[in-house]
Amino acid sequence: MTSSTSLRQGLADELAQGGQLTDPAWRSAVEAVPRELFLGDTVFRPNGTQWEPVHRDQLGDDEWLRRVYSNTTWVTQVEGISASSALGPLSGRPTSSSTLPSLVLRMLELADIREGDKVLEIGTGTGYSTAILCHRLGDEAVCSVEYDEGLAATAARQLQAAGCSPHLITGDGLRGYQDGADYDSVIATCAVRTIPPSWLWQLRDGGSIVTTISGWMLASGLIRLVLDEEGVARGRFTGEKVSYMLARPHERPPRPTFYPHPGTIRNARVSPELLDDWTAQFVAQLAAPSAELVRTGEGIALIDVATGSQAWTEPHGDGWTVHQDGPLQLWDQVEDALALWEKEGAPDQTAFGMTVTEWDQTVWLGDPKGPSWRLPA
C-alpha cells in the first residue's frame, strides 16, 4: 500500500517547486498533517453539471490516497448535503470543500505568521488548514470559527483524531471571536464582500488580515491588509487568480429565472467579451456591486434582484447592443468603470489596493488618491 507519509513528502516537494511553500516550518506541517483524516471516505467530483459522490472503497486505498494528496480542491458538501450523505449525483452550489493545499499554504505564507503569533481562522471547513496552523503555532494560539454546525462538529472530530485541540467556535465568522482577541493575524478561508469591522477591532496594531474580496459577480481578489495604530487597514491585491466560496451571510440572494426585458436599447461602448478578463470582471463588480453576472448564449446579463434592474447584451453587426431596464443603469455603471480602467492602461489586479476603516471601505486604482470605488456596507 502507498505510504501516507511518502505522499505528504511528495506533496511538500510539489508545493516547494511551485513556489507556494518556502518556509521550512510550514513544510514540516505539510509533512506531518494527514490530509486523509479530513476528507473522510467520500468526496464530490464534477460530472457535467452535477456533483457525483466518489467513495474510497470504489477506488481502493492506493488510488484514494493519491487523490487525497494531489494539489486539488475536493468538494465535501453541496447545497448543505455532505458527500457521505449523498445518495447520488447532486445539482447546485458547493457549500464546503477541502481547499487545494497550494492555496492553503499560499494564504499562510502571505499572512507572514511568526512563532508566538495568535491566529483567528474564519472558516474551519474540514479542519485541514486548522491542523496545519496548530502544528506550526500550537493549539492555544489558534482560534477557528465555522458557520455550519454540522461541518463544525465533523471538523472537531477530525482535528481530535489528528491530535489537535485548537479553540473551535461554531458561529458567524464575520463576528470574529472576541474572547480570543487580540490576534496577530486573521485568515479567511471564505471570500467576503466587505471586511467585517469586528476583524479590525479584534486585531492588534500591526496585525494583518488575509482574505479574498469577492461579490455577486464572483470576481475575486486576494489581499493582505495591515492595521495601523490609527485603526486603518491598507494593502494591495496580489494579482493571483484565487477564488473562495463567499461567506454564507454574504452569499447572493435567491434569484428567479432570468427573463430579459426589452428596456432601453443602445450600442454598447465596451464589448461584454471584456468581462472574460479576470481584472475586468473585478472592475465591473466594483462598479455594480449589487448585480449578478449571468452568461447567456450570445452575451451577458447583469441582474439586480433587490431593484429588479437588469442589463443584457446581444451581438449587432460588428458590435453589441445593450438593453437596460429598471431604476439602476447597470451597464452604464460597468462601462464607465471599464473605460476608466482601460484609460489607465488596463493594468492587472496588482495595480489595485484597498483602504479599510470602521466606517468606510474603498478599493482604489494606482494609489489611495486615484480612482476608487466604495464597497457595499
Asked if residues 89 and 50 have their Cβ atoms less than 8 Å apart, the reply is yes
User: What is the rounded average pLDDT of the residues 107-136?
Assistant: 96
Q: Are β-strands 142-146 and 119-122 bridged in parallel, bridged antiparallel, or unpaired?
A: parallel
Q: Please give the share of the chain, as a percent, with pLDDT higher than 90.
A: 93
Per-residue pLDDT of 234-253, as tens digits, reads: 999 999 999 999 999 999 98
Q: Exactly one of 82, 96, 97, 102 is catalytic; which is it?
A: 97
Active site includes 70?
A: no
Average pLDDT over all residues of the chain = 95
pTM above 0.85, yes or no: yes
Asked if residues 192 and 161 have their Cβ atoms less than 8 Å apart, the reply is no
For cell 470574529, what's the residue? 176
Residue 189 has pLDDT above 60, yes or no: yes
77 contacts: CB under 8 Å, gap ≥ 6? 83, 94, 95, 96, 97, 148, 151
Per-residue pLDDT of 328-340, as tens digits, reads: 999 999 999 999 9
Residue 170 bridge partners (DSSP): 146
Per-residue pLDDT of 35-91, as tens digits, reads: 999 999 999 999 999 999 999 999 999 999 999 999 999 999 999 999 999 999 999
Burial 244-261 (b: 16+ CB within 10 A, else e): bbbbeebeeeeeeeeeee
CA distance 320 to 299: 9
CA distance 233 to 240: 20
Residue 178 has pLDDT above 90, yes or no: yes
Phi, psi of 253 (to 5 degrees): -70, 160
Residue 234 bridge partners (DSSP): 226, 355
